Amino acid sequence: MIKAVTGTKDILPEEIPNWKFLEKVVTSVFDNYNYKEIRTPIFEETKLFARGIGESTDIVSKEMYTFTDRSNTSLTLKPEMTASVVRALIEHALYKKQSLNKFYYISPMFRQERPQAGRLRQFHQFGAEAIGSNNPLLDAEIIIVAYTILKKLGLKNLTVKINSLGLPESRENYKKLLREYLIKHFDKLSNESKKRFQTNILRIFDSKDEQDIMIMQNAPLLLEYLDNESLEHFEKVKKALVNAGIPFEIEPKLVRGLDYYTNTTFEIISSSVGAQNALCGGGRYNGLVKELEGPDIPGVGFAAGMERILLACENEKILSLEEDKFDLYILAIDKDFVDIVFDLAIKLRNFDLKVELDYFNRSLKAQLREANKLKAKFALFVGGDEFKNGFYLLKKMSDGTQFNIPISDWNKLVSIIKES
Ligand code: AMP
């Protein structure tokens, strides 16, 4: 049997209402904040991600789905959206049309990670990018939008963690201090951290190795070495969050994986899911647009994992969606009427009713069972003496009330169903 590829998942019809509900909340909040939707291709030239995410990141160094097409171009399935959004902004010169562009997206992403609960190889993210302004209020806005969406879904056990990585110059100075500290403990570091020491030293803070964690507990913290400009920026972000009533914690060890962050970084974690507890993360990336050969303009954004959010909703039992409402099941009293039933269903669906019928020439009893199974509000019986006399019999399933509807009186039929 051919199965879905490891780390990918079918989203079956029964799960779709949850996804649609999530998408509805996401779009409505983004709409309130005037973020505009953008859709970019599923694949891009590999060099976009190599440059836009950073060669030393886990994503680029070991997780991308990269392939060569028939014209020998190296392509990659998108592992995240920021680089694609920035590419589109530059390619269409959107920054010339307005000085601040606020985008949002909902899209599948692809990363060859080790699959586990809350971690897939094809997963879905929604997210936002606000590109064109360095105003700390926008850093706060991005965090507020993410938090608002999660709260609007009804999620409770959330923690917002924020940090500042400062400007690249102050970060470089700090990295020297960190190197000096770590060189003393180098032999005790895990192999992964030894590698990171060379490639992406800040990421050693993300290590799950116990020995590494112990060592990092006494490491100097970037937050303590921030330049004044970054400190001031961070203060303004915090003030805006306090004013908006968003609870947050400062997490000086929050470095996040991507190379291009400057100043603010943040994550929202949930205690309702397992080890993979980050529902979303993001931050400011002032160097990225220029890095991708655009103008030197700043940006800030976030991405949220939809599978993880739905898992948190499920665990907090907050997706008590309304039952799918079903208007009408049409029954053929005998086989002679199946074509009439089929035509009738098409006509009634054009009146914006949700209608189903039997496709197996089943007995009347079996058709009624099906109508009950679908929780149809009404059943319409076609055939028998009523039909001979020019009527359909309409039955309200909840209380058994019956209506004789003249065959040509569409208005009556539709209005009874719609008004109940
Ligand atoms: P990132 O783009 O790595 O900052 O991730 C942002 C969010 O996307 C995370 O907080 C997760 O909720 C989600 N996410 C990232 N990677 C995966 C994955 N492999 N499977 C499922 N969700 C993911």
259 and 336 share one domain: no
Q: Which two tokens stand for residue 410?
A: 């569409």
Residue 257 has pLDDT above 70, yes or no: no
CA-based nearest residue to 152, from 314, 313, 324: 313
Structure confidence at residue 321 as a pLDDT band (50, 70, 90): low
Q: How far apart are CA 229 and CA 60, in angstroms?
A: 31
**Among the ranges given (35-49, 114-128, 223-237, 307-321), the one the predictor scored with the smallest mean pLDDT:** 307-321
Cβ–Cβ under 8 Å, residues 311 and 271: no
**Same structural domain, 102 and 44:** yes
Which tokens is 419 given?
A: 């008004």
Residues facing residue 267 across a β-bridge? 161, 281
280 touches ligand 1 (CB under 6 Å): yes
- Count Cβ atoms below 10 Å from residue 324 Cβ, excluding itself: 12
Instruction: Give the residue among 323, 305, 317, 242 at the shortest CA–CA distance from 26.
Output: 305
C-alpha distances out from residue 202 to 150, 157, 267, 340, Å: 29, 28, 16, 71
Asked whether residue 278 falls in the same domain as residue 357, the answer is no
10 occurs within a structural domain: no
Look at residue 222 and tell me if it is in a domain.
no
- Please report whether residue 9 resides in a domain: no
* CATH number of residue 48's parent domain: 3.30.930.10
Task: Say what the pLDDT of residue 259 is.
Answer: 66
Q: How far apart are CA 136 and CA 9, in angstroms?
A: 38
What distance in Å separates the CA atoms of residue 415 and residue 26, rounded to the nearest whole number? Answer: 34
The answer to whether position 323 is within a domain reads: no
User: How far, in Å, from the CA of 186 to the mean position of ligand 1?
Assistant: 30
Whether residue 308 is found in the same domain as residue 344: no
**Does 307 share its domain with 339?**
no
- Which helix (H) or strand (E) segment holds residue 265: the answer is strand 262-270
How far apart (Å, rounded) are the C-alpha atoms in residues 158 and 386?
60
Domain that holds residue 415: 328-419
- 161 in the same domain as 89: yes
**Range among 10-19, 30-39, 206-215 with highest mean pLDDT value:** 30-39
Q: Check whether residue 309 and residue 339 sit in a common domain.
A: no
Q: Are residues 157 and 46 in the same domain?
A: yes
Report yes or no on 25 lying in a domain: yes
Cα separation, 221 vs 185, in Å, equals 16
Whether 307 lines ligand 1, by a CB cut-off of 6 Å, is: yes
Ligand 1, residue 118: give the atom nearest the CA: 21
158 shares its domain with 269? yes
Q: Is residue 219 part of a domain?
A: no
Dist. CA 281 → ligand 1 center (Å): 8
Kindly state whether residue 212 falls inside one of the protein's structural domains.
Answer: no
406-417 pLDDT, tens digit each: 998 989 999 999
Residue of minimum CA distance from atom 12 in ligand 1: 305
In terms of domains, do 342 and 292 share one? no
The dihedral through the CA atoms of 178, 183, 186, 192 has a sign that is: positive
Residues 23 and 138 both lie in one domain: yes
Name which residue sits closest to atom 15 of ligand 1, judged by CA.
Answer: 305
Q: What's the CATH code of the domain at 349?
A: 3.40.50.800
Residues 233, 301, single domain; the answer is: yes
